[in-house]
Amino acid sequence: MESQESSYLRELIRVLVRNLGILEKGDATCCSVTISQCHAIVEIGRAQEISLNELAEILTLDKSTMSRTINNLVENALVVRKLHPEDRRYVTIKLTDEGIKIFKNIEEGMKQYFNAIFNSIPEDKRDQVLDSLKLLIKAVSENKCC
């Protein structure tokens, strides 16, 4: 049975997700790429080079979905895919120069966006918000849905 507090938590998270745009449609764009491609570009850019399997794990996507996303990024000349010389099942992915430009634009835009959000929180509550989010992330990761 769902308690009143857990129901309220669910509602707050639902509103947060909606306000952050996490439930955007697949054709929504972020710096001229889809939201899913945006997430992939950010993770590849941060890692500089990453395997397809690692990327799928980080983004919690199955390998076939991740592969389709990467195929689109390759077709758009934003990433390059390399097969490991000894194990052709191991694929590494890197951003192209154009992919790096988009990565930097995304990072700069998100930096400004979250800086504005953070500065909107009263200064004496900022640590509390960060601590609460860490607790929430830990609880979510320990209690996977479905």
d(CA 79, CA 71): 9
pTM for the whole thing?
0.78
- Residues (pLDDT < 50) of the chain are 23, 25-28
In this predicted structure, what is the pLDDT of residue 27? 43
**Strand pairing class (33-34; 79-83):** unpaired
In this predicted structure, what is the pLDDT of residue 89? 75
pLDDT digits (tens, 9 = 90+) for 59-75: 988 989 999 999 999 99
Structural domain boundaries in the chain: 26-142
In this predicted structure, what is the pLDDT of residue 122? 96
Write b or e for each residue in 51-63: b if 16 or more Cβ atoms lie within 10 A of its Cβ, otherwise e.
Answer: ebeebbebeebee
Q: What is the CATH number of domain 26-142?
A: 1.10.10.10
